[in-house]
Amino acid sequence: MKAKVFSIQGEEIKEITLNDSVFATEVSDGSIYYAVNNELANRRVGTACTKTRGEVNYSNAKPWRQKGTGNARSGDKKSPVWVGGGTVFGPKPRDYSHKLPKKMKRLAMKSLLSMKVNEECLKVVEDFAVETGKTKDLAQILKNLVNGERTLIIIRDEDAMIRRAGKNIPWVRINSYNRLSAKELLYGKNVLLLETAAENLNKFYGEE
């Protein structure tokens, strides 16, 4: 398939060929769901912790004798029914992360890229750099290309200056072509794909 390439001024300058197996494949909603779920699960810290009745700092002494007081019988103040007592079946530190099959992740990324093409949210842009690393310079480029909604920029490699410039723009996310985030692709209202990154994606996801 053919796609237009835009300059950083927002003008059409030429066309580029995109791999149909990457940018025009059938969208798999299931793989997208599992890929996003996997990313969110892997980000969870899992440090929530509560104390059981064996861990709370209370005496083991019986509050009152078993019979004759008129009160309900009680063994100790660590009981879950007492204020300050232990917690029953409360959370403990755990690892929420899990692995996703490689083929499913690849299918999810191709489905998301195809979905963005179908929704006309993906725009191929000529390669550019922000040599100063300043936010205002990147903001000026984006002003000509997008309308200020949540935007994902897909770059050709780990460009530290572009990442530095985009760090202070709250609605901008930056991914390299080989480290795409399913969540950012799904929720991005605009996807700016650098020309070289597009060529790399043709090869990276086009090869089986």
For residue 49, tell me if it sits in a domain. no
Q: Which of 75, 39, 32 is nearest to 54 (CA)?
A: 75
Q: Which of 195, 206, 23, 28 is nearest to 120 (CA)?
A: 23
For residue 128, tell me if it sits in a domain. yes
For residue 199, tell me if it sits in a domain. yes
Q: What confidence tens digit (pLDDT) does each residue in 117-134 have?
A: 999 999 999 999 998 999
The H-assigned helical ranges of the chain are 20-23, 29-43, 102-118, 135-143, 160-166, 182-187, 195-204
Q: What confidence tens digit (pLDDT) does each residue in 11-56 have?
A: 999 899 999 999 999 999 999 999 999 999 999 999 999 999 999 9
For residue 57, tell me if it sits in a domain. no
Q: What confidence tens digit (pLDDT) does each residue in 61-83 have?
A: 999 999 999 999 999 999 999 99
Q: What confidence tens digit (pLDDT) does each residue in 131-170 have?
A: 899 999 999 999 999 988 999 999 988 888 999 999 999 9
For residue 115, tell me if it sits in a domain. yes
CB contact at 8 A, 173 and 151: yes
Helix, strand or coil, per DSSP, at residue 50? coil
For residue 43, tell me if it sits in a domain. no
For residue 148, tell me if it sits in a domain. yes
| CA–CA gap between residue 117 and residue 123 (Å, rounded) | 8
Supply the CATH number for residue 10's domain: 3.40.1370.10
* Total number of domains in the chain: 1
For residue 62, tell me if it sits in a domain. no
Parent domain of 162: 2-28+102-204
**pTM: predicted TM-score of the whole model, two decimal places:** 0.83
In one-letter notation, the amino acid at residue 174 is I
